[in-house]
């Protein structure tokens, strides 16, 4: 099968989230980290490829340039359709980047209309009469109204999108969606004839998203969150049966954690409580020139090869504040990312072939250090947290890249418990 969907995600975690959604719909899915170039290679026979960018909060012109580069690369890989994945809370400002990026993708495709919906019912995001709800609250009444970068103080999607584009915006309401794909296609055509470019659709359930996916199959560009991506995926692959992505057998397993999020701290505590070997990295010592990497590797070499190990820089809020006060926030993070990146390379050289990385930025640092540009997406251990595989000079490496707050408290022990060959 040739590449059906080429997806551009506006942040790293969103990329994993949407890749997992395509995979749930039964598509063989690859995830590419950062703007791809001629040297970036996809695993063979993918149905969907997701390029994870960092374009959500960058200046609009930069986001447009990165997104159209990704679009051209995806087309060069044979993508028949482009999906622009943004946040299910429509995280954006009056200047973008949802409007400018979707306009640029449409312009490049020569398309005049697109379908949008940020609905993702699995995460409590629904759209009714064009208003975005977060669980039982309007977006503008939810905690997102206090978002540190982009406070969302309006819940009306047409009102939010209109200032971001020079083109008209309109709505397909829930009654039309409930009438099925043909009714949605008719409504899309009518809007298109009337010069509307951005058509926002209501969606309350996964069934609604399946209807929208079926209706949007022929559009060159579609936009939304992971929910509509899964709806589209199901429309492509009606059986929904995912081909297995085998994990490497044998080898050793490790967790590298740089996230200081509450959930990651719980996962670390749970790993420790299970009696498994864990090592806390001394970031201040590393900053004064101590060879913390060599010390950590000596510790690793002394552990039972059958047990997964955890090496973490993650710190409690108090400890983090103390380190940051001494080193500065950016310098502290740079030290941590360098340490964990170097450790990843050494651990893989020492035979680790299942590596779980906790933290969004940390995952970026580790994949960069390992030279991993693209992975194949496998089964999820928890929602939004799939195993992936990458080809490295050491053979197949299984990587689980998790955003700080993702995964159940026992994720580390559960995901690494079973020898890969027995999965
Ligand atoms: P999350 O997904 O939870 O936001 P990230 O990896 O994106 O996790 O961000 C955590 C940030 O905290 C990283 O930049 C990391 O380098 C930094 N960090 C982790 N541990 C420490 C520490 N002990 N001292 C200072 N900074 C740290």
Q: Are residues 225 and 262 in the same domain?
A: no
Last residue of a domain, one of 175, 201, 235: 235
How far are the Cα atoms of 17, 20, 217, 248 from residue 185, in angstroms, in the given order? 27, 27, 10, 44
**Rounded to an integer, what distance in angstroms lies between the CA atom of residue 157 and that of residue 129?**
9
Last residue of a domain, one of 183, 202, 235: 235
What is the model's pLDDT at position 419? Answer: 52
Q: Are residues 231 and 256 in the same domain?
A: no
**Residue to mutate, 54, 255, 256, 258, ligand 1, most ligand atoms under 8 Å from C-beta:** 258
Q: Which domain holds residue 159?
A: 5-235
Place of tokens 């975690």: 13
Residue 241 belongs to a domain: no
Residue 287 belongs to a domain: yes
What is the model's pLDDT at position 241? Answer: 66
Number of domains in the chain: 2
**Rounded to an integer, what distance in angstroms lies between the CA atom of residue 280 and that of residue 311?**
6
Find out whether the beta carbon of 407 lies less than 6 Å from any atom of ligand 1. Answer: no
What is the model's pLDDT at position 104? Answer: 98
Peptide bond into 97 cis (omega under 30): yes
142 Cα–ligand 1 center, Å: 26
Q: Are residues 225 and 291 in the same domain?
A: no
Spatial neighbors of 100 by CB under 8 A, at least 6 apart, are 60, 61, 63, 64, 164, 165
Last residue of a domain, one of 200, 235, 270: 235
Provide the CATH number for the domain around residue 51: 3.40.50.10840
**Residue to mutate, 287, 318, 333, ligand 1, most ligand atoms under 8 Å from C-beta:** 333
Find out whether the beta carbon of 170 lies less than 6 Å from any atom of ligand 1. Answer: no
What is the model's pLDDT at position 422? Answer: 47
Query: In which element (H, E) is residue 137 found?
Result: strand 137-138
Q: Are residues 275 and 148 in the same domain?
A: no
pTM above 0.75, yes or no: yes
Q: Judge whether 420 and 250 are in contact, CB under 8 Å.
A: yes
Q: Are residues 265 and 363 in the same domain?
A: yes
Provide the CATH number for the domain around residue 367: 3.40.980.20
pLDDT per residue, tens digit, the chain (423 aa), is 589 999 999 988 899 999 999 999 999 999 999 999 999 999 999 999 999 999 998 999 999 999 999 999 999 999 999 999 999 999 998 998 999 999 999 999 999 999 999 999 998 999 999 999 999 999 999 988 887 778 889 999 999 999 999 999 999 999 999 999 999 999 999 999 999 999 999 999 999 999 999 999 999 999 999 999 999 999 997 656 677 889 998 899 999 999 999 999 999 999 999 999 999 999 999 999 999 999 999 999 999 999 999 999 999 999 999 999 999 999 999 999 999 999 999 999 999 999 999 998 899 999 999 999 999 999 999 988 999 999 988 899 999 999 888 899 999 999 998 654 444
How far are the Cα atoms of 81, 119, 124, 203, 360 from residue 128, in angstroms, in the given order? 26, 9, 13, 7, 31
Residue 243 belongs to a domain: no
Q: Are residues 207 and 304 in the same domain?
A: no
Phi-psi region of 169 (alpha: psi -120 to 50; beta: other; left: phi over 0): beta
Spatial neighbors of 33 by CB under 8 A, at least 6 apart, are 12, 15, 52, 364, 367, 368, 372, 373, 374
**Rounded to an integer, what distance in angstroms lies between the CA atom of residue 297 and that of residue 345?**
11
Q: Are residues 215 and 256 in the same domain?
A: no
227 Cα–ligand 1 center, Å: 29
What is the model's pLDDT at position 383? Answer: 87
In sequence order, the β-bridge partners of residue 278 are 310
What is the model's pLDDT at position 144? Answer: 85
Residue 244 belongs to a domain: no
* 3-state class percentages of the chain: helix first, strand second, coil last, to nearest 5: 45, 25, 35
Distance of CA 373 to the CA centre of its chain: 14
Residue 123 belongs to a domain: yes
Residue 247 belongs to a domain: no
What is the model's pLDDT at position 344? Answer: 98
Q: Are residues 258 and 208 in the same domain?
A: no
Q: Are residues 202 and 319 in the same domain?
A: no
Find out whether the beta carbon of 313 lies less than 6 Å from any atom of ligand 1. Answer: yes
Q: Are residues 207 and 263 in the same domain?
A: no
Q: Are residues 350 and 413 in the same domain?
A: yes
Residue 242 belongs to a domain: no
What is the model's pLDDT at position 420? Answer: 43
Number of CB atoms found within 10 A of residue 246's CB:
12
Residue 246 belongs to a domain: no
Number of CB atoms found within 10 A of residue 376's CB:
23
Q: Are residues 406 and 312 in the same domain?
A: yes
**Rounded to an integer, what distance in angstroms lies between the CA atom of residue 279 and that of residue 369?**
21
């Amino acid at each position: 099968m040739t590449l059906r969907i080429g997806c551009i995600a506006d942040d790293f975690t969103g990329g994993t989230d949407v890749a997992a959604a395509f995979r749930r719909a039964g598509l063989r899915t690859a995830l590419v980290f950062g703007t791809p170039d001629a040297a970036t290679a996809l695993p063979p026979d993918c149905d969907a490829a997701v390029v994870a960018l960092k374009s959500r909060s960058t200046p609009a012109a930069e986001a447009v340039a990165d997104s159209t580069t990704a679009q051209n690369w995806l087309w060069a890989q044979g993508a028949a359709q482009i999906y622009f994945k943004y946040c299910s809370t429509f995280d954006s400002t009056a200047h973008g980047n949802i409007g400018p990026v979707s306009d640029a993708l449409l312009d490049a495709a020569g398309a005049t209309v697109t379908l949008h919906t940020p609905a993702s019912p699995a995460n409590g995001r629904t759209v009714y009469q064009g208003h975005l709800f977060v669980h039982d609250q309007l977006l503008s009444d939810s905690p997102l109204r206090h978002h540190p970068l982009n406070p969302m103080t309006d819940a009306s999607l047409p009102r939010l999108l209109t200032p971001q584009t020079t083109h008209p915006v309109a709505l397909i309401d829930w009654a039309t969606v409930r009438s099925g794909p043909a009714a949605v296609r008719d409504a899309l055509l009518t809007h298109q004839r009337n010069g509307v470019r951005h058509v926002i659709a209501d969606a309350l359930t996964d069934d609604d998203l399946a209807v929208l996916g079926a209706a949007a199959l022929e559009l060159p560009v579609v936009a939304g969150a992971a929910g509509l991506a899964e709806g589209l995926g199901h429309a492509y692959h009606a059986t929904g049966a995912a081909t297995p992505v085998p994990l490497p057998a044998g080898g050793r397993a490790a967790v590298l954690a740089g996230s200081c999020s509450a959930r990651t701290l719980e996962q670390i505590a749970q790993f420790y409580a299970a009696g498994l070997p864990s090592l806390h990295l001394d970031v201040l010592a590393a900053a004064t020139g101590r060879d913390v990497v060599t010390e950590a590797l000596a510790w690793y070499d002394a552990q039972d090869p059958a047990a997964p190990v955890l090496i973490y820089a993650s710190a409690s809020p108090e400890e983090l504040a103390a380190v940051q006060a001494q080193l500065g926030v950016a310098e502290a993070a740079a030290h941590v990312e360098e340490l964990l990146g170097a450790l990843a390379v050494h651990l893989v050289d020492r035979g680790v072939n299942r590596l779980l990385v906790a933290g969004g930025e940390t995952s970026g640092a580790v994949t960069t250090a390992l030279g991993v540009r693209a992975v194949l997406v496998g089964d999820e251990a928890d929602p939004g947290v799939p195993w992936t595989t990458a080809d490295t000079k050491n053979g197949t490496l299984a990587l689980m890249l998790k955003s700080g707050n993702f995964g159940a408290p026992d994720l580390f022990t559960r995901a690494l418990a079973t020898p890969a060959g027995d999965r």
